Structure 1
Amino acid sequence: MVATETKVTEATPTSKAASKKLRDRNQILLARLGWRFTTPSLLVVGLVTIFPISFSVILSLSNVTLSGNGFSLGGFTFNNFSILIHSSEWRYALAFTIFYTIVSVLVEVILGTMIALLMERLSGGRGPMMALLLLPWSIITVISAELWQYIFQGSYGVMQQIFSAVGLGKPVFLGSPTPAIISMMIADIWKTTPFVAVIVLAGLVMLPGDVFEAAAVDGCSGWVMFWKITFPLLRPTIAIAVLFRILQAFGIFDLPFVLTGGGPGTSTTSLAILGYKAMFQNLQFGPGSAVAVSATGLVLIGCLSFLKVFKSQVNSGE
C-alpha cells in the first residue's frame, strides 16, 4: 500500500509537466490557427489603410512633378510642410478644425449623457426609443447634409419659413461665416449625439446597483449620486465615446463638403476639405499630402495625450 502511494506521488510531477507541455502546444496551435484566419483581413486592412498612409507620407516628403503621364517623385524635401506652416489657409483650417471638434464633441457628450440617463430610467419602451434614437445616426452623412441644406436654404428653406412665420425676418444661415459654422455644428450634433447616448447607456446598464442602493440609504440626492458615483464610474465609457468622436470630428469632410462646400469663403474649410482641394482641384499633390499627414499626426498626438491624461486620472482615482 505504501509502495503504491509512493509511485503515484513520484509520477505526479511528470504528469504535471506533460499536461503543461500539452497546454502550451495547444496554445501555439490555436495562435497559429488564429493568425491563419486573421491574415486575409489584416492584408485588406494593410492594403486600404497602411499603404495609403505610407504613400501619403512619401508624397509629403517628396518633390512631386506633374506630367502628361501622371506624376513623378523628384527627391526628399521638407518644402511641402514649409508651405503649410506659412499658409494662412492651413492655419485657419487647423484652428477651425480644432474649434469645431472641441465644441461639437463637448455638446454631444453633454446631450448624449443626459439622454442616456433619461433612457436608463425608463421601465418600458426602451427598445422603440432606442430605435428612434438611432434613426439620425443610421442616415448616411451625405444624405443628412442634403436634408440640412434644404432646412437652412436661403430662399425656400424650412428654417426661413419658421423664422418668417414668427416675425424674426429671414436670417442667412449658410451665406455668412458664423451662421454657417453654427448650422454645420447643429447638423453634426443632431446626427452623432445618439452615438454617444448609446455608448453611455451601455455603460450605465453595467454599473453595479448595490452602490446606488447604499448611497440612497445614506440619504444622497440624485445630484450627489451623479457626481460622486455615476460620473466617476462612467469615465471609462465616456472616454471611449469622446475618443471615437474626436477621431470622426477632426477628420470631418462629407458634412461641410455637401452642406457648405467649405464656404462661405473658407469659413467652414476643415483640414480634410483643404487637403482635398489642394490635391484634386489644384493638383498640388505634395502640399495636399502634407495636409493629410499633418492632420493624421495631430490626431495621433491628441489621442495619445488624451489617453495618457485619462489613464493618470483613473489611476489617481483608484
Structure 2
Amino acid sequence: MSVDSASGVTVPEPVPAGVVLRPPDSSVRRNQRLLARLGWLYSAPALLLVAAVTIFPIVFSVVMSLSHVTVSGSGFALGGFTGSNYSAMFGAQLWRYALEFTLAYTFGTVLVEIVLGTLVALVLERLTIARGWLMALLLIPWAMVTVISAELWDYIYNGVYGVGTSILHDLGMQQPNLLGTPTAAIISMAAADIWKTTPFVSIIVVSGLVMLPVELTEAARIDGANGWQIFWRVTLPQLRPTLALAVLFRILQAFGLFDLPYVLTGGGPGNKTESLALLGWQTMFSDLDFGPGAAVAVSTAALTLIGCLLFLKVFRSQVGKEEL
C-alpha cells in the first residue's frame, strides 16, 4: 500500500504483469461446495418430479413383472418373487407375433419416413420464398395429438361414409374395406403414421442441411459433379449425424406404437395389428393379468433400449471409419 502525496489517499500497489491474484485454496473449495449445494437445492423439485412420474413407475413395473400378482375387488397385491410371468410371455404365440409385427412396422415406417422426409427437406432447403410458412404448415400434422389424428383417419377409412373408401370405390374397387383385412389394415395404419411423422423428419433434416458448409458443394460442382453425385457423395455423408438423430427419435416412437392401433383397429382384425404396447395394455387392463402385462411392458422398454444402443454403436463406428 502507498499514500498519494497530492490527495493523501491510500492506494494499493500495482500488481506486477503476469501475476494473477487467487483466493486461498480453502476459500475456493468452500465456494465450490456452496455452489454445488445450491445447485442440488434448486434442482431438487424437478428431480423429485422426474423420479415420481418416470423412475418410480419403471422400477415398480420391473418389481411387478417379477412378482406373483393377486387381483381382488379392493385392488391387487404383490406376492413373492417369480419368473413365471416372463416364462408365460416368451411361450405365448401372441407375444411373438406382436414382437414381429412391431419390428416390421417400425422398420418399414421409419424407412419410408426418412426417405420422404429427406426429399421434402431438400425441396424446402432450396426455397427462398415462403419457406417459413411451409415449415409451419408441415408441423401441423406433427403437432396434432396422435389420438385426434387417429380419429381423423378412422373417419377417412370408414367403410360407409369414409373419404378414402369413396375414392377407392370411384376408382373401381368394389366394397373396399381398408380396416377389415390384415394387409389393408396394416397399410392404412402405416399411411396414417407416415402422414403424421414425416414432417418431423423433414424439419430435422432441413436444420441439418442449412448448417452444412457450401464450400464442398461448390467445389464438387466446379469439378463437374452432377446433382445426384453431389447429394450422394458430399451432402449425405455430412448429413448422417442429423439422419441418425431423426432415426433414433422415430425408433423410440414407432416401437412404442399404441394410439393408432388402439383407435383404428383395436389390434384387429384378429390380432394382426397388435403391437407390443397394445398387447401389454390389453393384458393388464382388459385381462387383469398384471404380472404378464408388466412383463410385456418391461420387455418392450428393454428391447427399445437395446435397439437404440446398438444403433448408436453402429453409427459411431461408421463415423469413425469415415474420419479415418
Q: Same fold (TM over 0.5)?
A: yes
CA shift at 1:166, angstroms? Answer: 2.4
Instruction: Please state if 1:132 is matched with 2:137.
Output: yes
Q: Secondary structure at the match of 2:76?
A: strand
CA shift at 1:35, angstroms? Answer: 3.1
Instruction: Please state if 1:255 is matched with 2:260.
Output: yes
Greater fraction helix:
1
Give 1:177's aligned residue: 182
**Aligned positions of 1:84-95 closer than 5 A:** 84-95=89-100
Q: Aligned partners of 1:113, 1:19: CA distance in 2, in Å? A: 57
CA shift at 1:30, angstroms? Answer: 4.7
CA shift at 1:65, angstroms? Answer: 1.1
Q: Secondary structure at the match of 2:172?
A: coil
Give 1:198's aligned residue: 203
CA shift at 1:24, angstroms? Answer: 7.0
Q: Aligned partners of 1:37, 1:261: CA distance in 2, in Å? A: 44
Q: Aligned partners of 1:113, 1:71: CA distance in 2, in Å? A: 49
Q: Aligned partners of 1:188, 1:162: CA distance in 2, in Å? A: 20
Counterpart among 231, 237, 243 of residue 232 in structure 1: 237
Question: TM (normalized to structure 1)?
Answer: 0.92
CA shift at 1:154, angstroms? Answer: 1.2
Instruction: Please state if 1:109 is matched with 2:114.
Output: yes
Runs of 5+ in structure 2 lacking a partner?
Answer: 1-14
Q: Aligned partners of 1:292, 1:315: CA distance in 2, in Å? A: 35
Q: Deviations over 1:199-220 (max 9, x none)?
A: 0100001111112111111121
CA shift at 1:21, angstroms? Answer: 8.2
Counterpart among 265, 276, 286 of residue 291 in structure 2: 286
Runs of 5+ in structure 1 lacking a partner?
Answer: 1-6
Give the letter for the 2:267 counterpart.
G
Q: Aligned partners of 1:246, 1:22: CA distance in 2, in Å? A: 49
Give 2:223's aligned residue: 218
Instruction: Please state if 1:244 is matched with 2:272.
Output: no
Counterpart among 75, 83, 105 of residue 80 in structure 2: 75
Give 1:64's aligned residue: 69
Q: Secondary structure at the match of 1:63?
A: strand
Give the paired residue count: 309
Instruction: Please state if 1:120 is matched with 2:125.
Output: yes
CA shift at 1:111, angstroms? Answer: 0.4
Q: Aligned partners of 2:46, 2:259: CA distance in 1, in Å? A: 26
Preserved CA contact (<8 Å) 2:103 2:255: yes
Counterpart among 53, 59, 65 of residue 48 in structure 1: 53
Preserved CA contact (<8 Å) 2:65 2:291: yes
Give the letter for the 1:122 counterpart.
L
Give 2:271's aligned residue: 266
Give 2:4's aligned residue: none
Q: Deviations over 1:83-122 (max 9, x none)?
A: 0111000000010000000000000000000000100000
Greater shift, 134-143 or 294-303, is seen at 134-143
Give the direction of change, closer, same or farther, for the CA distance of 1:171–1:70 in structure 2 (3 Å limit). same
Preserved CA contact (<8 Å) 2:169 2:176: no
CA shift at 1:174, angstroms? Answer: 0.2
Preserved CA contact (<8 Å) 2:70 2:78: yes
Q: Secondary structure at the match of 1:72?
A: strand
Q: Secondary structure at the match of 2:270?
A: coil
**Aligned positions of 1:145-184 closer than 5 A:** 145-184=150-189
Give 2:307's aligned residue: 302
Question: TM (normalized to structure 2)?
Answer: 0.90
CA shift at 1:170, angstroms? Answer: 2.5
CA shift at 1:20, angstroms? Answer: 8.7
Q: Deviations over 1:250-303 (max 9, x none)?
A: 001111101111111101100111001110011000000000000000001000
CA shift at 1:33, angstroms? Answer: 3.7
Of structures 1 and 2, the larger Rg is shown by 2
